[in-house]
Amino acid sequence: MAAPRVTMEVGNDGVAIITLINPPVNALAIPIVAGLKDKFEEATSRDDVKAIVLTGNGGRFSGGFDINVFQKVHGAGDVSLMPDVSVELVVNLIEDCKKPIVAAVEGLALGGGLELAMGCHARIAAPKTQLGLPELTLGVIPGTQRLPRLVGLSKAIEMMLLSKSITSEEGWKLGLIDAVVTSEELLKVSRLWALDIAARRKPWIRSLHRTDKLGSLSEAREVLKLARLQAKKTAPNMPQHQACLDVIEEGIVHGGYSGVLKEAKVFKELVMLDTSRGLVHVFFAQRATSKVPNVTDIGLKPRGVRKVAVIGGGLMGSGIATAHILNNIYVVLKEVNSEYLLKGIKTIEANVRGLVTRGKLTQDKANNALKMLKGVLDYSEFKDVDMVIEAVIESVPLKQKIFSELEKACPPHCILATNTSTIDLNIVGEKTSSQDRIIGAHFFSPAHVMPLLEIVRTERTSAQVILDLMTVGKIIKKVPVVVGNCTGFAVNRAFFPYSQSARLLVSLGVDVFRIDSAIRSFGLPIGPFQLLDLAGYGVAAATSKEFDKAFPDRSFQSPLVDLLLKSGRNGKANGKGLYTYEKGSKPKPDPSVLPIIEECRRLSNIMPGGKPISVTEKEIVEMILFPVVNESCRVLEEGIVVRASDLDVASVLGMSFPSYRIVTFSKLVWRCGGIVFWADAVGANYVYTSLKKWSQLYGNFFKPSRFLEERATKGIPLSAPVSSSSTSRARL
């Protein structure tokens, strides 16, 4: 690939076209920033240049500052590696330039890319260009001063705090964009616009000097106050949100330039924090998931999937169907009788309506989505489907029967997917001769909301089928992570000790609600027992059985779920769990469950000396999450995931493992960016020695895996690649 560069061409009309060239998104890499400085200096000093147009090559203006530089800064711990963009380039060379500059924007202008455009004296955009400042998702702040001055304070805050992009059409209505023209006319109109500014036929506007859209100081303070309260609720552990609002306020009170100076200082502080390290890691980890050896690198082209059949209209099936129809894929929903079918369709309608109520979907789009759905009771509609996703209960004979029927009912190219969360795919497809088309499409509940799609391949699944499902996954706005076949696959397998260790701690005498609270403080949205209530005890009992069978050497069998079921409780589903559930209020710990817990402890009989163990909040978190790290090590060693960062992405998107938080227990700071990234930050040796100590005290459940022991003793990070020789049973 050619080196990133900036070119300049001066036309006969006296307009210099400065072009960013750094495919695929024209990220502002260090040579690009340097090139821009050079070209703007040259254009300013040349007598034959009357005006300047700034544009991006290849139909994309710029995806913002080069995030690879953030990684370098994190690696070296040296913030001076960040070049000065905001003052030297955007203010001095662009905004304060003696010649007018017009940004010709197409495709996308994000982060520093949009900031460059806002520094120009006008912005012309092609239709449907994506405009946004997503920096908070990387743990830093964006350019905070110009957007409020162009679109108004409330809208700017919304775009920044939610990292929400708008289109150029919306940008034009708001005043961010001066004109929307076709892609073909973009450069021509931009040149003329720049010449018009030079000749004073159009206004020469420096965004930073405007104040007309900011409102009065008291109005601005009111808007900022509300935004601070909102950010406190929605992003309690993210320092960049409050910092962003503080810097906006600085500019409103003391002027835009003062805001820019404070912004540069705060940016440098934030980029060094663990929040940014975690988020930047997740950014690249997420992109790495689309590179699957022997699938995405062998020249295959994805085949279109236009019609999908979903079998089973329960919670998962209806969520999966919803995800597809929302993204314009025709869905046939099959159920066994009209009562179940109607229930499934009603759930899908409620899912779609819920999105409208929450302002996430327009009524028009909702109506169109529902038109993409058809309910059926037999296989007659299956003759032209491109993919089937089976989402019935976890019963091996039922799944085997369905897959035999599918083989006859579907065309030969059709992908045969199952949403099983635990059952071995070889067993599911045992009664068919279509093993190459059988694949796992493991969605996480609620399937139309949760972003992860775990794609499970067997040794026989064809590369084409994997690629097709990855492509559909992206169309329905999921992050597909391809994993190997084993009990629980990657996510449930790595996290099976999560619920088991929580139950083990209860048997050792630790309070249920204290455990949930410690896990919440760590950064997961709910604790293991609230999760148990949510999933329902039937599901918990069934999955526990699978893990007991698959990993008998390290599975902890707690009597808790059986005791809860016997007492007539089934979690949130019947309103009676470890918590009580009342409409409109948060779940509350139910004290009447305490005798059941006592009985559980009596039956387990593992408290040393019959007395509850004494543990700190930090130990609770470690005793629950280190066993997850331990199992993750086995997942890595067995080659169930392509790379360690895939497990980070899967844990963040599927289990809501914190991606960004700094968590403090007694001044201890933990960096989270997914389970393996976190474990490496904590230190493999610390995880290993802790597990070893607990295994001596409390048994095999905590016994460190061979992989963990090896890495800890040799000082190799858990995330370092697994060499093929050390992979005992490579699945991928």
Ligand X SMILES: C[C@H](O)CC(=O)SCCNC(=O)CCNC(=O)[C@H](O)C(C)(C)COP(=O)(O)OP(=O)(O)OC[C@H]1O[C@@H](n2cnc3c(N)ncnc32)[C@H](O)[C@@H]1OP(=O)(O)O
Closest C-alpha to 382, from 427, 431, 345, 415: 415
By CB under 6 A, which span of 105-113, 149-157, 384-392, 457-465 interacts with ligand X?
105-113
Which secondary structure element, helix H or strand E, spans residue 491, and what is its range? helix 491-507
User: Is the Cβ–Cβ distance between 87 and 260 less than 8 Å?
Assistant: yes
By CB under 6 A, which span of 120-128, 136-144, 233-241, 296-304 interacts with ligand X?
136-144
Cα 461 to its chain centre, rounded Å, is 27
Closest C-alpha to 266, from 297, 235, 236, 245: 245
| 328 contacts: CB under 8 Å, gap ≥ 6 | 368, 369, 372
Q: How far apart are CA 267 and CA 248, in angstroms?
A: 13
What is the residue whose two structure tokens read 């069998």?
557
Closest C-alpha to 35, from 118, 138, 122, 116: 116
Nearer to ligand X, 108 or 628 (CB): 108
Q: How many residues bind ligand X (CB under 6 A)?
A: 21
Task: Work out how close the CB of 468 gets to ligand X at its nearest, in angstroms, rounded to a whole number.
Answer: 18
CB atoms < 10 A from the CB of 326, how many?
23
Task: Work out how close the CB of 62 gets to ligand X at its nearest, in angstroms, rounded to a whole number.
Answer: 8
By CB under 6 A, which span of 103-111, 416-424, 509-517, 605-613 interacts with ligand X?
103-111
Tokens of 275: 């929040």
Task: Work out how close the CB of 337 gets to ligand X at its nearest, in angstroms, rounded to a whole number.
Answer: 42
Residues in region 163-202 near ligand X by CB under 6 A: none
Our finding on whether 278 is near ligand X (CB under 6 A) is no
Q: How far apart are CA 383 and CA 412, in angstroms?
A: 10
- Nearest-5° angle of CA 510, CA 516, CA 521? 115
- In order of 630, 680, 684, 708, 712, the CA distances from 715 in angstroms are 16, 10, 8, 10, 5
Residues in region 282-311 near ligand X by CB under 6 A: 287
Our finding on whether 631 is near ligand X (CB under 6 A) is no
SS (H, E, C) 206-266: CHHHCCCCCCCHHHHHHHHHHHHHHHHHHCCCCHHHHHHHHHHHHHHHHCHHHHHHHHHHH
Residues in region 11-40 near ligand X by CB under 6 A: 24-25, 27
> Using CB under 6 A, which of 4, 14, 35, 134 touches ligand X?
134
**Strand runs (DSSP E) across 33-187, as ranges?**
51-56, 101-105, 108-110, 122-125, 130-132, 166-167, 179-180
Our finding on whether 67 is near ligand X (CB under 6 A) is yes
Nearer to ligand X, 311 or 650 (CB): 650
398-410 burial, b at 16+ Cβ within 10 Å, e below that, comes to: ebbebbbebbebb
Task: Work out how close the CB of 270 gets to ligand X at its nearest, in angstroms, rounded to a whole number.
Answer: 11
Our finding on whether 473 is near ligand X (CB under 6 A) is no
Our finding on whether 68 is near ligand X (CB under 6 A) is yes
Residue nearest to ligand X (CB): 111
Nearer to ligand X, 142 or 239 (CB): 142
Tokens of 104: 């010709």
> Using CB under 6 A, which of 66, 178, 274, 533 touches ligand X?
66
Our finding on whether 496 is near ligand X (CB under 6 A) is no
Task: Work out how close the CB of 142 gets to ligand X at its nearest, in angstroms, rounded to a whole number.
Answer: 5
Task: Work out how close the CB of 67 gets to ligand X at its nearest, in angstroms, rounded to a whole number.
Answer: 4
By CB under 6 A, which span of 60-68, 548-556, 601-609, 722-730 interacts with ligand X?
60-68
Residues in region 139-158 near ligand X by CB under 6 A: 142-143
Report, as residue numbers or ranges, the catalytic residues: 115, 135
Closest C-alpha to 482, from 669, 680, 294, 254: 294
Q: How far apart are CA 713 and CA 695, in angstroms?
A: 17
By CB under 6 A, which span of 135-143, 437-445, 561-569, 668-676 interacts with ligand X?
135-143
CB atoms < 10 A from the CB of 724, how many?
8
> Using CB under 6 A, which of 4, 35, 100, 111 touches ligand X?
111
Q: How far apart are CA 23 and CA 17, in angstroms?
A: 18
> Using CB under 6 A, which of 35, 64, 488, 527 touches ligand X?
64
Q: How far apart are CA 428 and CA 358, in angstroms?
A: 38
Nearer to ligand X, 162 or 596 (CB): 162
Nearer to ligand X, 402 or 650 (CB): 650
Nearer to ligand X, 149 or 191 (CB): 149
Task: Work out how close the CB of 286 gets to ligand X at its nearest, in angstroms, rounded to a whole number.
Answer: 8
By CB under 6 A, which span of 64-72, 382-390, 532-540, 604-612 interacts with ligand X?
64-72
Nearer to ligand X, 61 or 698 (CB): 61
Our finding on whether 108 is near ligand X (CB under 6 A) is yes
Our finding on whether 502 is near ligand X (CB under 6 A) is no
Our finding on whether 85 is near ligand X (CB under 6 A) is yes
Q: How far apart are CA 217 and CA 221, in angstroms?
A: 6
Nearer to ligand X, 35 or 627 (CB): 35
Q: How far apart are CA 577 and CA 588, in angstroms?
A: 10
> Using CB under 6 A, which of 89, 117, 138, 504 touches ligand X?
138
Nearer to ligand X, 241 or 399 (CB): 241
Let me know how long the chain is. Answer: 732
Tokens of 227: 């935004």
Q: How far apart are CA 462 and CA 464, in angstroms?
A: 5
By CB under 6 A, which span of 134-142, 412-420, 481-489, 697-705 interacts with ligand X?
134-142
Nearer to ligand X, 114 or 722 (CB): 114
Nearer to ligand X, 66 or 590 (CB): 66
Q: How far apart are CA 660 and CA 137, in angstroms?
A: 9
> Using CB under 6 A, which of 14, 35, 56, 63 touches ligand X?
63
Task: Work out how close the CB of 156 gets to ligand X at its nearest, in angstroms, rounded to a whole number.
Answer: 14
User: Is the Cβ–Cβ distance between 291 and 297 less than 8 Å?
Assistant: yes
Tokens of 682: 């904590």
By CB under 6 A, which span of 137-145, 148-156, 197-205, 562-570 interacts with ligand X?
137-145
Nearer to ligand X, 108 or 506 (CB): 108
Task: Work out how close the CB of 118 gets to ligand X at its nearest, in angstroms, rounded to a whole number.
Answer: 11
DSSP secondary structure letter of residue 384: G
Task: Work out how close the CB of 514 gets to ligand X at its nearest, in angstroms, rounded to a whole number.
Answer: 38
By CB under 6 A, which span of 62-70, 177-185, 342-350, 693-701 interacts with ligand X?
62-70
User: Contacts for 407-412 with beta carbons within 8 Å, 24 or more apart?
Assistant: 407/432, 407/433, 407/434, 409/379, 409/382, 409/383, 410/309, 410/382, 410/383, 410/385, 411/383, 411/384, 411/385
Task: Work out how close the CB of 4 gets to ligand X at its nearest, in angstroms, rounded to a whole number.
Answer: 10
Nearer to ligand X, 268 or 514 (CB): 268
Task: Work out how close the CB of 180 gets to ligand X at its nearest, in angstroms, rounded to a whole number.
Answer: 20
In angstroms, what is the C-alpha Rg of the chain? Answer: 28
> Using CB under 6 A, which of 61, 65, 443, 581 touches ligand X?
65
Tokens of 329: 């894929």
Task: Work out how close the CB of 130 gets to ligand X at its nearest, in angstroms, rounded to a whole number.
Answer: 7
- Give the footprint of ligand X on this chain (CB under 6 A): 24-25, 27, 63-68, 85, 108, 110-112, 115, 134-135, 138, 142-143, 287
